């Protein structure tokens, strides 16, 4: 079996995925890469290569030289940042995907993981228990890129036999690495501020329910999907997976169980419109059936672990 390359390893998901894959496969089997020239501090102990996924030549060279057979492509601009840089978001999110899909089409690599998102849904999508297959009219640049990417993944699978697998991640909550540029980031930021000052101003309104998940569940889902026999992976666009769903008000209540004086105020900004276009909670029957997906973290359990572990000195 060849090596595994994680592209975008310095981000919120990548950091934890590299650690999980290295502990499963051995450090020598996993190469972390990111556009940053310096090795991210959390990845000091791992093999690290500076790589821009848009540099097709360097990517191809690295994959061949290192005998990489599986790529996890995590480099992307998230929803809020993509609204500010639409042209670059489209270029990075789409051309990056094509560069990797084409390596599999040319049989240079065997297997790809590519993340999609709840952002593929839009204001016309049923909001509660959103089905796997439903109306998808995304209104963000990020959502459009993920929706198009899903269709390209299914196309490459169908047409060229490419083994590409994908999950529609909900908002992900973790303490190892800060998220960057997402609409769901408030649900991570809030923990740093709760510990640091006991106060937080949310950029989403109090009753905005969104699908969320603790990172450990998301990493387990990713690895389980990649380990599943190919014939069980019946959905080649991207799988809905569901963890927890809560509003800023409900999250505040759960934090107050540990920090009774914690207070929140609300000052919605442009991200409110994005959040309002996304589902409250999504249905993951197919993931449960096809590769036995099961979340382990409740809201209470996630809050406890986050408060125990976030390093509040990392934020201003
Ligand atoms: N967490 C992401 C974002 O908010 C959704 O995929 O952009």
Q: Compute the distance between CA of residue 198 and CA of residue 3 in angstroms, rounded to an integer.
A: 45
Q: Is the CB of 169 under 6 A from ligand 1?
A: yes
Question: Considering only CA atoms, which of 176, 150, 189, 178 is closest in space to residue 271?
Answer: 189
23-48 average pLDDT score: 96
Task: Assess whether pLDDT exceeds 90 at residue 132.
Answer: yes
Residue 1 confidence (pLDDT):
82
- Angle at Cα 237 formed by Cα 208 and Cα 100, nearest 5°? 110
State the pLDDT at residue 177: 86
Q: Do 268 and 192 belong together in one domain?
A: yes
**Ligand 1, pocket-test mutation among 76, 114, 171, 241, most atoms within 8 A of CB:** 171
H helices of the chain, in order, are 12-25, 56-65, 79-84, 86-90, 96-105, 141-160, 186-196, 215-227, 248-256, 270-276, 285-291, 299-309
Note whether 101 and 131 are same-domain residues. yes
Task: Answer yes or no: do 143 and 178 share one domain.
Answer: no
For residues 129 and 232, membership in a common domain is answered with: yes
What CATH number does the domain containing 121 carry? 3.40.50.720
Q: Name the burial class of residue 170, with classes exposed (0-12), middle (13-18) and buried (19+) by CB atoms within 10 angstroms of its CB.
A: buried
> Is position 151 within any domain?
yes
Q: Report, in angstroms and rounded to the nearest whole number, the Rg of the chain calculated over CA atoms.
A: 19
Q: Are residues 51 and 100 located together in one domain of the fold? A: yes
Contacts of 240 (CB under 8 A, 6+ apart): 130, 131, 132, 168, 282, 283, 284, 286, 287
pLDDT at residue 315 is higher than 90: no
The domain that contains 191 carries what CATH number?
Answer: 3.90.25.10
User: Do 188 and 39 reside in the same domain of the chain?
Assistant: no
Distance 262 CA to ligand 1 centre (A): 25
Q: What is the mean pLDDT of residues 186-191?
A: 97
Residues 236-245: what's their mean pLDDT?
98
pTM: 0.97
Give a yes or no: residue 304 inside a domain: yes
Q: Is residue 290 part of a domain?
A: no
Q: What percent of the chain has pLDDT over 70?
A: 100
Q: Is residue 202 part of a domain?
A: yes
pLDDT for 23: 98
Section 94-119 average pLDDT: 98
One domain, residues 77 and 145? yes
Average pLDDT over residues 2-27: 97
- What's the gap in Å between 310 CA and the centre of ligand 1? 20
What's the pLDDT band for 178 if we cut at 50, 70, 90?
Answer: confident
265 and 152 together in one domain: no
289 located within any domain: no
Q: Which residues contact 192 (CB under 8 A, 6 or more apart)?
A: 310, 312, 314, 315
For residue 8, is pLDDT > 90? Answer: yes
Q: Which atom of ligand 1 is nearest to the CA of 184?
A: 4
101 lines ligand 1 (CB under 6 A): no
Query: Cα–Cα distance between 176 and 182 in angstroms, integer?
Result: 16
Looking at ligand 1, which residue's alpha carbon is closest to its atom 2? 182
- Would you say residue 286 lies in a domain? no
Q: How far apart are CA 263 and CA 268, in angstroms?
A: 16
Q: Please indicate, yes or no, whether residues 127 and 192 belong to a single structural domain of this protein.
A: no
Looking at the domain assignment, is residue 291 inside a domain?
A: no
The residue whose CB lies within 8 Å of the most ligand 1 atoms, and thus the one to mutate among 82, 114, 142, 167, is 142
Query: Does the pLDDT at position 180 exceed 90?
Result: no
Both 179 and 227 in one domain: the answer is no
Other beta carbons within 10 Å of 120: 27
Q: Is residue 79 lining ligand 1, measured as CB closer than 6 Å? A: yes
Work out which ligand 1 atom sits closest to the CA atom of 171: 1
Alpha carbon nearest to ligand 1 atom 3, residue? 182
pLDDT for res 258: 98
What SS3 state is found at 245?
Answer: strand
Whether the per-residue pLDDT at 314 is higher than 90: the answer is: no
Rounded distance from Cα 133 to ligand 1 centre (Å): 20
> Are 205 and 70 contained in the same domain?
no
12-39 mean pLDDT = 97
* Residue 153: inside a domain: yes
Among 204, 141, 144, residue whose Cα is nearest residue 171: 204
Say yes or no to pLDDT of 102 above 90: yes
Across residues 7-31, what is the average pLDDT? 97
Which pLDDT score, from 0 to 100, does residue 105 have? 98
Task: Taking residues 140-159, report their average pLDDT.
Answer: 98
Instruction: State which residues form the domain around 40.
Output: 3-170+214-240
Distance 255 CA to ligand 1 centre (A): 22
Rounded to the nearest integer, the mean pLDDT of the chain is 97
How many domains is the chain partitioned into structurally?
2
Cβ(116) to ligand 1 under 6 A? no
Task: Give the position of tokens 């450090």.
Answer: 27
Q: How many angstroms separate the alpha carbon of residue 270 from the centre of ligand 1?
A: 14
Check residue 3 and give its pLDDT: 98
Task: Show which residues are catalytic.
Answer: 142
Residue 150 and residue 113 share a domain: yes
């Amino acid at each position: 079996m060849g090596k595994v390359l994680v592209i975008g390893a310095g981000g919120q998901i990548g950091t934890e995925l590299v650690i999980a894959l290295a502990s499963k496969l051995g450090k020598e089997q996993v190469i972390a890469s990111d556009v940053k020239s310096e090795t991210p501090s959390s990845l000091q102990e791992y093999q690290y290569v500076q790589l821009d996924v848009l540099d097709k030549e360097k990517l191809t060279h690295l994959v061949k030289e290192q005998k990489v057979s599986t790529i996890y492509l995590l480099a992307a601009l998230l929803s809020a940042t993509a609204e500010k840089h639409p042209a670059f978001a489209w270029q990075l999110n789409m051309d990056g995907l094509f560069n990797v899909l084409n390596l599999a089409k040319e049989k240079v690599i065997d297997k790809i993981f590519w993340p999609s998102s709840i952002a593929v849904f839009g204001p016309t999508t049923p909001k509660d228990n959103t089905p796997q297959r439903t109306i998808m009219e995304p209104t963000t640049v990020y959502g459009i890129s993920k929706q198009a990417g899903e269709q390209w993944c299914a196309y490459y699978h169908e047409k060229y036999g490419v083994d590409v697998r994908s999950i529609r991640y909900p908002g992900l909550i973790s303490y190892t690495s800060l998220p960057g540029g997402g609409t769901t980031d408030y649900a991570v930021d809030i923990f740093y501020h709760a510990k640091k000052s006991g106060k937080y101003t949310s950029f989403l309104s109090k009753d905005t329910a969104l699908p969320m998940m603790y990172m450990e569940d998301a990493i387990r889902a990713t690895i389980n999907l990649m380990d599943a026999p190919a014939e069980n992976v019946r959905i080649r666009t991207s799988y809905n997976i569901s963890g927890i769903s809560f509003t800023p008000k409900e999250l505040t209540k759960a934090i107050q169980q540990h920090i009774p004086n914690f207070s929140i105020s609300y000052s919605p900004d442009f991200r409110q419109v994005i959040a309002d276009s996304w589902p409250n909670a999504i249905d993951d029957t197919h993931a449960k059936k096809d590769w036995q997906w099961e979340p382990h973290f409740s809201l209470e359990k996630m809050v406890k672990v986050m408060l125990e572990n976030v390093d509040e000195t990392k934020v201003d």
